[in-house]
Amino acid sequence: MMQEDTGLSLADGGRLAAANYVGYLIGALWAMVQPARTDHAVRASLAITAAATVAMAFANDMLAYLALRALAGVSSAWVLIHVSSWCAARLAVLGRPALNGVVFAGVGAGIVFAGALCIALMTLGAGSRMAWLLLGVAGFLVTATVWPVVKDVGSATKVPFTRYRWTPDALRLVACYAAFGIGYIIPATFVPVMAKAVIQNPAIFGWAWPVFGAAAVASTLMAGAFARRLNGRRLWMASTCVMALGVASALFVQGLTGIIGCALLVGGTFVVATLAGVQVAREVAGGGAYVLVAAMTASFAASQVAGPLIVSFLAERSLGFDAALWSALIALLASAGALMLPLRQTTTEKSGRCNN
């Protein structure tokens, strides 16, 4: 929509996405080491995210766009980290830990809502400013709904990074998670752009994004069943291979069919891969899992920054979007190959080392 009514280029769109992910990286690192009351952190972060979204409707230059997307990235990282930890604690008390994955279905549900709203607005001839405004208002309504629900469950604690002993297995997981991030973020960020390049009718191409989100919701709700059939490493490897197939679909299948295939296969695996990665980190790191998960999260956030910048770099040199998709495909195949190697560390061994 911003391409249509503000003249935003593909390269500029990549920079806006990168700014958002830079903010997310900063927010993730900050939240790891900054003690905060859970209820205060969740409420303030949700409100800031909504406010930054509304402000996009009134911004008039690229610098303001970049600053607002970065701010929303910082606050959204705080939301994810504190909400997921709060839900994990509450579900443990209720004896329902299997529902932890449902929390992440909110990501896909938000994508479906945002995509459907933009389709409706484009069909009515409304511009991007109206979209930003309505999405921000929706954010405030969600904040008001969540506000009385989230209760304090204690303060966050600082991560004891200096006590963690890194192993080749742990470093390999961090690298695989970064490669997964590159492979995911390039198609995920630019699915609507790819669809628009194939067909101009917003009532048709606009569905690429909601399809992506719906696949994410469905796969998240089924993640528990997948986890019971495969161990964490194999589930992560399988998800990475399916995601690579989705990227290949956009490269080799012509027209909207290839784009929808990409949306389904990438959207349907990225949350499963995320949950599997966390499971593997717990198996490898034992008592030090929080540190390894934090490092993997930071590497994923860094790769989210790199992905759109790769697109911008290639677009400015007239290499086309296919070159960026090839980069994503190579990263995913490399990650799947690395995950084929067995992990030598076990939870017991690693826990003992951490305790020592």
121-131 pLDDT tens trace: 988 989 999 99
User: Tens of pLDDT along 142-158?
Assistant: 999 999 988 765 544 44
CB count in 10 Å sphere of residue 68:
23
- Tell me the residue type at 2: M
Q: In the predicted model, is pLDDT for residue 248 greater than 90? A: yes
C-alpha to C-alpha distances, 169 to 272, 289, 294, nearest whole angstrom: 21, 13, 15
121-129 contacts, C-beta under 8 A, 24 or more apart: 121/1, 122/1, 122/202, 122/203, 122/206, 123/202, 123/203, 127/1, 127/4, 127/5, 128/1, 128/2, 128/4, 128/5, 128/6, 129/5, 129/56, 129/57, 129/58
Provide the pLDDT for residue 121: 93
CATH of residue 86's domain is 1.20.1250.20
Provide the pLDDT for residue 346: 44
Provide the pLDDT for residue 163: 62
Angle at CA 274, nearest 5°, toward 310 and 265? 70
The 3-state secondary structure of 134-159 reads HHHHHHHHHHHHHCCCCCCCCECCCC
Provide the pLDDT for residue 352: 41
User: Tens of pLDDT along 315-356?
Assistant: 777 776 788 889 999 999 999 999 988 876 544 344 444 443
Provide the domain limits for residue 313: 2-355
Mean pLDDT throughout 259-280? 83
User: Tens of pLDDT along 156-196?
Assistant: 444 455 466 788 888 999 999 999 999 988 888 777 777 77
C-alpha to C-alpha distances, 97 to 76, 90, 321, nearest whole angstrom: 23, 9, 41
User: Tens of pLDDT along 8-36?
Assistant: 887 888 889 889 989 988 987 887 677 77
Partners of 155 in beta bridges: 37
Average predicted confidence (pLDDT) for the chain = 82
> For the chain, what is the domain count?
1
pLDDT-based confidence at residue 80 (cuts at 50, 70, 90): confident
Q: Indicate the burial class of 108 (C-beta count within 10 angstroms; 0-12, 13-18, 19 or more).
A: buried
